[in-house]
């Protein structure tokens, strides 16, 4: 049996003003598993990730990391965030620090590594994302795709137990998306435990072991990546058919075409 890394149990999030963004979400993530969360804007996908990483506090429910409940008043949030890496859509790099310094910062201040030790780790992860030639550059001199790969390297450097991606390509120009998706796919192939919120449906189908489709704050359908081509619920069918032509997997279009014959 694979080890359970994340266990989300009956998670609710009600924002000020009474917006019930997440309504009783429950799911598990096993060691080495890639789980993609898809759904329309406002369905609660990013809220779930932010609750897991304690960026916001859920209204109700329990979150366990390897058996330890992590949404308690006694949880060391800084330690938690070194165990659960997060890559944001807006990169969140320090503009005044060079690439190498951005990656070593957490290692030196949270892991308490020496400068030499931190740089050794940083160079290793920057090599994995193909950015060794940019270690002396400032974020302002990088493309969006390069910035996002630096953000991935920074998260990887902490050797997290699970890595969260919040729409990692949504802020990128179309021509820059491929390199970031290829980097994430490489991590999946290496067995990194990941939860990926994404609007890249074909990517989710090809990379994730499991898909969670959220709609209006609930899990409307969950299953293996094949549910993208063969959705069971009317809600997922409707969502997939509403996407732009080039975002929908080919099989969906074939099915729709068959249905009109």
**pLDDT (tens digit per residue) in 98-115:** 999 999 999 998 889 999
State the pTM of this model: 0.89
Taken in order 112, 115, 117, 119, the sign of the CA dihedral is positive
Whether 8 and 25 have beta carbons less than 8 Å apart is answered as yes
pLDDT at 261 > cutoff 60: no
Q: How confident is the model at residue 86 (pLDDT cuts 50, 70, 90)?
A: very high
What fold does the segment set 4-92+161-259 form as a domain? Answer: Rossmann fold (3.40.50)
Q: Which of 8, 30, 39, 6 is nearest to 209 (CA)?
A: 30
DSSP β-bridge partners for residue 210: 35, 224
pLDDT digit string, tens, across residues 201-260: 999 999 999 999 999 999 999 999 999 999 999 999 999 998 854 454 544 444 444 433
Please give the Cα distance from 83 to 194 (Å, whole number).
12
């Amino acid at each position: 049996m694979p080890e359970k890394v994340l266990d989300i149990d009956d998670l609710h999030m009600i924002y000020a003003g009474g917006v019930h963004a997440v309504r009783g979400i429950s799911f598990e993530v096993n060691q080495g598993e890639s789980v993609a969360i898809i759904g329309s804007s406002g369905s609660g996908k990013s809220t779930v990730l932010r609750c897991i990483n304690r960026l916001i506090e859920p209204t109700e429910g329990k979150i366990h990391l390897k058996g330890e409940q992590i949404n308690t008043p006694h949880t060391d949030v800084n330690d938690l965030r070194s165990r659960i890496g997060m890559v944001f859509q807006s990169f969140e790099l320090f503009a005044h620090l060079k690439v190498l310094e951005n990656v070593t910062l957490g290692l030196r201040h949270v892991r308490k590594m020496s400068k030499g030790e931190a740089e050794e780790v940083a160079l290793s992860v920057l090599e994995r994302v193909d950015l060794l030639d940019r270690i002396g550059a400032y974020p302002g001199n990088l493309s969006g795709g390069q910035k996002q790969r630096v953000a991935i390297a920074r998260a990887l450097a902490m050797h997290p137990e699970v890595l969260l991606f919040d729409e990692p390509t949504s802020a990128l120009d179309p021509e820059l998306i491929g390199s970031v998706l290829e980097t994430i796919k490489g991590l999946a192939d290496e067995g990194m435990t990941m939860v990926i919120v994404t609007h890249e449906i074909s990517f989710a189908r090809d990379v994730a072991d499991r898909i969670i489709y959220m709609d209006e704050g609930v899990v409307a359908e969950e299953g293996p990546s094949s549910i993208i081509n063969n959705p069971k619920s009317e809600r997922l069918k409707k969502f997939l058919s509403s996407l732009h032509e080039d975002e929908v997997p080919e099989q969906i279009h074939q099915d729709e075409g068959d249905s009109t014959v």
